[in-house]
Structure 1
């Protein structure tokens, strides 16, 4: 039994049922029942058309459930026979399903959970493990999300940018439990890219691939966080880098720049440098200028301050940093780094220790604590 095939087909089958008139919650239940049936039947009797088989089985499960529910006895349901959609129609349906799972009425957390469940085909248990919450809690979150979109029909375009932000949230969760969410986000974004020519979908996919390529070098054998400048670049996945750069170049050629393309361009410049000293920081500053122009995002401004510090010296970086809100996440850590580059080790040590106390993750806290300890040892010596 090819479980990856079932997960790939799940969103297309679900989208067909919703387009036919099933509400989202009932359609999702019917598809899950059909998947269970497929696991039971396919090993001994594999279908020639797996998607067509699943559509037929899921639609029958849905009709059976409607007929068995007396409270829905008078509900209008289309029961006419419909042909299995061709590839083009399937792609459109699936794209609309992404929009539905990223509906503006959903919170980001609920949109992520629903996307992983409905589009990604993950079980509630897997999603709960990935987000380190009890399975019952995740089940409630997904149920509420399904109820929220239950009356939404796939009859108008959705917001691609909202879908991309949901996928980026998934990617940034990384790895936890038995589900690699970074890899899952890449898979889903590839799937989305296959159904649309949107340049920002390509930009996000390129960004994910370029970041994911550096993953093997991000932590040491002891689990410690390894900063970009200190990473062993021979561990970077050159195949993913080449693919990401190729996708990015094709997207940029359309001349409709967006924030994910700009972020991917920064990642590509890092990937292009054979060592940290060869990084083209001047170009990186220029791309951050574009990103700030496009979004006004304060985090982009913070990253720009770091790049300015590398391109024009730490004093210039500190000047750029002084214009930003000190309450920004990682602002103190950036200030510590720039003060160290500027030779003010006492201030840098104090700021590293301060940043460690508010670090968003344990590996980052440990890294910042070690930085403070290193500088304090130098000052004592």
Structure 2
């Protein structure tokens, strides 16, 4: 295989990478964002370091895919000459139907669209990107890699909600979990870093980015995770608040809020943004350091929620061999890592200050030599994992 094109379609963006599958070298990458807005943005990077940025109007994900193809052509590398042997697609919601990477045919594509009722912000756009990609590359295999698949190993007591079972079954209401591709690759790479078989490890992976989730991983299998029926449950995030008493939503409905208003509030107006006016953790940290009380509270709530799940998963796993930080905030914010791990020495968790402050960006140990639990920072790479799973499936 000469290259695998990885398509990561979000609710209002399409990210893409062209990857050499043997070495995982990036041959090209790019982003089309602000889909559906009056003015969108395209960024395309070639392997020779050249970068194109332009403002474009992108009506939908189909148009975004066309912009990607045009960007390759303007860079002098038309897609027909790229040697694309397979296309891997990130799909957020696989429901209970898909528990592994799946080769896409007409039936699978239709099922992905049907599952859009469980992920209306993501699956419909991802389906559009899949249709466009299959039309443009009809002679190569297309593979769907599902965010939810890794969590299909959760036991029923971890994924079932305690509501009327008939209602839950009719409407598919259960905990699905997300960020599964990230949790899978990070837990595997943590085991490789430690030089231990993953089957021997109990890990707690903390994916802390604009979206955030925690996952308890035993012997390489997800046994619990913080996100639930949707990505709204669990940790505090950039624009999502995580755990919230459902009674608060009923109260707001009775106070006159419409369903769409609540959707915007929960998905786009909560979390760090709701506290401070910005969802960027770097800006929140800077404001807190400058004496902003609301920013300081936002960070305190953020860390408290992570610690709550960390404690719960220590109980579920019967202890941990490794705690692993990953994603944009987890990989780059030493102060937050220190706050999360503070006072946990009695669990055997002790970090080393100088290691934690190291500017190194690779996989690294930040725990002290006398820490019984390894504390690691391991960069996530969902696109490389999608390419790896695509290659493994198609041969």
TM-score normalised per structure 1: 0.24
Give the helix-richer structure, 1 or 2: 1
Q: Which one has more relative contact order, counting CA pairs under 8 Å at least 6 apart?
A: 2
